[in-house]
Every structure is written in structure tokens, then in C-alpha cells.
């Protein structure tokens, strides 16, 4: 049984698997920073290996194929190693000064392709459109579960971005509480009465030095206080709180941008590990103003260091203005 434990010192939460999911020798990186295990001897995400995963939640399949067998294009499965489980009711327990929740929630893996070794930037746009449509659908399904208060969509690519499988995939996690991470948007709204992301769009369009690319529906910027070198945000220009309300025209454009940006970034930065993180408004809670969904992309060129963990202040060795100019030149060079 997994738990979500309250970290009293950091004022945050930690997800803990109660048994030993990984033995000491099974952790993927040793003290020299070298990958020590190859988890892809039998890749459970490859077509033909469906028996190595939990039963699928849904899949885009060829007409005559059966569930949990070969013949799919995109497959959604529960995360086998999740700290969250989909059954039961949320319960808070106290233990002396400590407290925890039982890990009620959902965590799903979207296997983006049946092919091993083909990454997001190599997909055709039609596949990326399908992936975004499935992410939208899973977001809207999870938001119907009133035990879930926050839905985070994310992608880990490469071991230094936290990927435990090399095979291209994204994840959706439905948490039973709202994390504190993006509470700045709520504070900003209370102080100014306006949406922070809309104000960021306005200022970045005016200043332009951190602007990477602009399309009809989206603005790409390297944020003013980038935590990671070459961190980039993709912000929908139309104010919209929930990713689940993304329009068809926005999905088509976002697919084009994901391919274009990821190809440029991978080329610029010599094929780094990276994360995609899609932030959206909480669900199933009394209305909280200030949210505006957006996508964060963080190339993982540095391992998080002691000072970053200790203080929560990230030390970024590349100015976002320089990062933006490099990425902008690369993207415009593709046009
Ligand atoms: Zn595979
Ligand atoms: Zn807004």
C-alpha cells in the first residue's frame, strides 16, 4: 500500500511506496552517474509485449485487433509502479506529529507508439495530434472522478529526466489534493485581479527578447525566471483554465509546435533528456481564479544540485534571453 506523507519541514507532500519497489542494485544510476541497468531487455511497451503490462485502459487499435494484444497504434495503461491506486476513498491518518493520505488517485501511461526507439520529434504530426487528443480525453475522464483534485500531464524522456522506460511515453496523474507548486498564479490574481499568464504574454510580446516563436494560438517563450537552461513555455494565447477545453485548431497547432520545437531543441542541445509538464487548473474544488493552462518544457542538461534542493533556488547557468535567441534562430531556420 502506498502513502502520500506530509513533509512538515518543507510544507509539501511526498509519495512513498510502502514496500521496496527497487532493491539497492536496481537503481538505474550509480555514483559515477552511469546508467547501470538496461530495463529494455524485454521492453513492456513494445508491440507484442502487452502481457508485461497491466490490462489496457484504452487503445487506438486496428479494426480486427483484440484488447491487450498486438495491433495498436497508441495504448493507455495504468502505471504499474504508481504510489496511487484507483480504488477506495481518500483517508487521512495521523501518527503522532505526522500525517498521511492513503494513495487514492490515478496514474496512467500513454504508450505513444508501438515502435521502440522512435521519439516524439520523429513522429509525424498526425500521431502527435492523436496523442494530444488522448491526453485531452484522459484529462476529461479523470476530472469526472471527484476524489481527484489536480491532474498533471507530463513526459519524461531519458534517464536524467526520470524515465524508467526508454520507449516513448507520457503520463497522466490524478492527485487527491492540489499541489502548492503553481500557487503563485493564485497570489498574483489576488494582488492584481488579472491572470498572470495573460500578463506574461502581453509583456513578452512587447519586450520580445525571451520570445522563441509565435503562432496564431500559442506563444513560446523562455520564462524570465527559468529554473533550467533552455526551459521553454508554450502558452495558449486565449485565456483558458483547463487543458481539457483545448480546441481542435489548438490541438493541430500544438502538435506542429511540439514536433518543430522538440526537433530544434534536440538539435541545438545535442539530444538531451527532457520533461514536458502540462499545468492546468485544479478540478473538483471550489473555484480558484488565476489559472491558465500552459506547457513547460525543461531540457535536463544538469543534475539537480545540493544548493537547488537545499534552498529551492535553482542556479541556471544560461540566461533565458540567450537561450531564447538560440532556440528562435533554430526554429526560424526551419521555416
Ligand atoms: Zn519498447
Ligand atoms: Zn490567462
Q: Per-residue pLDDT tens for 183-209?
A: 999 999 999 999 999 999 999 999 999
Distance (Å) from CA 16 to ligand 2 centroid = 34
Say whether pLDDT at 244 is over 60: yes
Q: Please give the pLDDT value at position 2.
A: 81
Q: Just list the catalytic residues.
A: 169
pLDDT-based confidence at residue 217 (cuts at 50, 70, 90): very high
User: Any idea which ligand is nearest the CA of 185?
Assistant: 2
Distance (Å) from CA 44 to ligand 1 centroid = 6
Beta bridge partners of 2: 17
The C-alpha cell that represents 112 in the structure block: 505513444
Distance (Å) from CA 280 to ligand 2 centroid = 11
Q: Please give the pLDDT value at position 216.
A: 98
Give the residue-averaged pLDDT of 210-235.
98
Distance (Å) from CA 52 to ligand 1 centroid = 11
pLDDT-based confidence at residue 180 (cuts at 50, 70, 90): confident
Say whether pLDDT at 39 is over 60: no
d(CA 282, CA 195): 15
Q: Give the end-to-end CA distance of the chain in Å, rounded to a whole number.
A: 51
215: buried, middle or exposed (CB in 10 Å: 19+, 13-18, 0-12)? middle
Q: Please give the pLDDT value at position 223.
A: 98
Sheet with strand 294-299: strands edge to edge? 58-61, 72-78, 106-111, 169-175, 150-157, 274-279, 294-299, 232-236, 218-221, 211-214
Q: Is the dihedral of CA 322, 307, 300, 85 positive or negative?
A: negative
**More confident of the two residues 239 and 25:** 239
Distance (Å) from CA 169 to ligand 2 centroid = 29
Sheet with strand 2-7: strands edge to edge? 12-17, 2-7, 98-102, 92-95
Which residues are within 5 Å of ligand 1 (an ion), measured at CB?
Answer: 43, 45-46, 116, 167
User: How many helical (H) and strand (E) elements, i.e. helices and strands, does the chain have?
Assistant: 6, 14
Alpha-carbon distances of 91 from 5, 98, 108, rounded to whole Å: 12, 14, 22
Average pLDDT, the chain: 93
d(CA 171, CA 101): 22
Distance (Å) from CA 43 to ligand 1 centroid = 4
Residue 82 phi, psi dihedral angles, 5° rounding: -70, 150
**More confident of the two residues 322 and 42:** 322
Q: Per-residue pLDDT tens for 91-120?
A: 999 999 999 999 899 999 999 999 999 999
Give the residue-averaged pLDDT of 303-319.
92
User: Any idea which ligand is nearest the CA of 238?
Assistant: 2
d(CA 51, CA 75): 13
d(CA 31, CA 170): 28
Say whether pLDDT at 70 is over 80: yes
Distance (Å) from CA 48 to ligand 1 centroid = 10
User: Any idea which ligand is nearest the CA of 168?
Assistant: 1
pTM above 0.75, yes or no: yes
Q: Please give the pLDDT value at position 36.
A: 65
Q: Please give the pLDDT value at position 193.
A: 97
Distance (Å) from CA 77 to ligand 1 centroid = 14
User: Any idea which ligand is nearest the CA of 117?
Assistant: 1
Say whether pLDDT at 128 is over 90: yes
User: Any idea which ligand is nearest the CA of 45?
Assistant: 1
Distance (Å) from CA 53 to ligand 1 centroid = 12
Q: Per-residue pLDDT tens for 274-283?
A: 999 999 999 9
Amino acid at each position: 500500500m502506498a502513502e502520500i506523507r506530509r513533509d512538515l519541514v518543507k510544507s509539501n507532500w511526498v509519495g512513498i511506496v510502502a514496500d521496496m519497489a527497487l532493491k539497492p542494485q536496481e537503481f538505474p544510476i550509480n555514483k559515477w552517474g552511469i546508467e547501470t541497468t538496461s530495463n529494455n531487455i524485454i521492453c513492456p511497451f513494445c508491440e507484442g509485449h502487452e502481457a508485461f503490462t497491466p490490462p489496457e485502459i484504452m487503445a487506438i487499435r486496428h479494426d480486427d485487433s483484440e484488447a491487450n494484444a498486438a495491433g495498436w497504434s497508441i495504448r493507455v495503461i495504468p502505471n504499474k509502479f504508481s504510489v496511487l491506486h484507483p480504488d477506495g476513498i481518500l483517508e487521512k491518518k495521523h501518527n503522532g506529529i505526522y500525517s498521511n493520505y492513503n494513495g487514492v488517485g490515478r496514474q496512467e501511461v500513454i504508450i505513444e507508439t508501438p515502435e521502440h526507439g522512435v521519439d516524439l520529434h520523429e513522429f509525424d504530426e498526425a500521431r502527435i495530434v492523436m496523442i494530444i487528443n488522448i491526453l485531452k480525453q484522459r484529462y476529461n475522464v479523470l476530472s469526472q472522478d471527484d476524489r481527484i483534485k489536480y491532474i498533471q500531464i507530463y513526459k519524461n524522456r531519458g534517464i536524467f529526466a526520470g524515465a524508467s522506460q526508454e520507449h516513448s511515453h507520457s503520463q497522466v496523474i490524478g492527485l487527491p489534493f492540489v499541489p502548492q507548486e503553481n500557487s503563485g498564479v493564485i497570489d498574483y490574481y489576488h494582488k492584481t485581479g488579472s491572470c498572470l499568464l495573460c500578463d506574461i504574454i502581453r509583456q513578452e510580446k512587447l519586450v520580445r527578447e525571451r520570445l522563441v516563436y509565435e503562432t496564431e494560438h500559442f506563444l513560446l517563450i523562455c520564462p524570465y525566471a527559468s529554473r533550467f537552461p533552455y526551459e521553454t513555455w508554450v502558452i495558449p494565447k486565449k485565456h483558458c483554465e483547463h487543458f481539457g477545453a483545448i480546441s481542435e485548431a489548438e490541438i493541430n497547432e500544438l502538435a506542429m509546435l511540439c514536433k518543430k520545437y522538440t526537433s530544434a531543441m534536440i538539435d541545438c542541445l545535442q539530444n538531451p533528456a527532457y520533461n514536458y509538464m502540462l499545468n492546468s487548473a485544479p478540478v473538483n474544488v471550489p473555484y480558484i481564479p488565476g489559472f491558465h493552462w500552459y506547457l513547460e518544457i525543461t531540457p535536463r542538461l544538469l543534475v539537480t544540485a545540493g544548493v537547488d534542493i537545499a534552498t529551492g533556488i535553482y542556479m541556471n547557468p544560461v540566461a533565458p534571453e540567450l537561450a531564447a535567441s538560440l532556440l528562435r534562430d533554430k526554429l526560424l531556420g526551419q521555416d
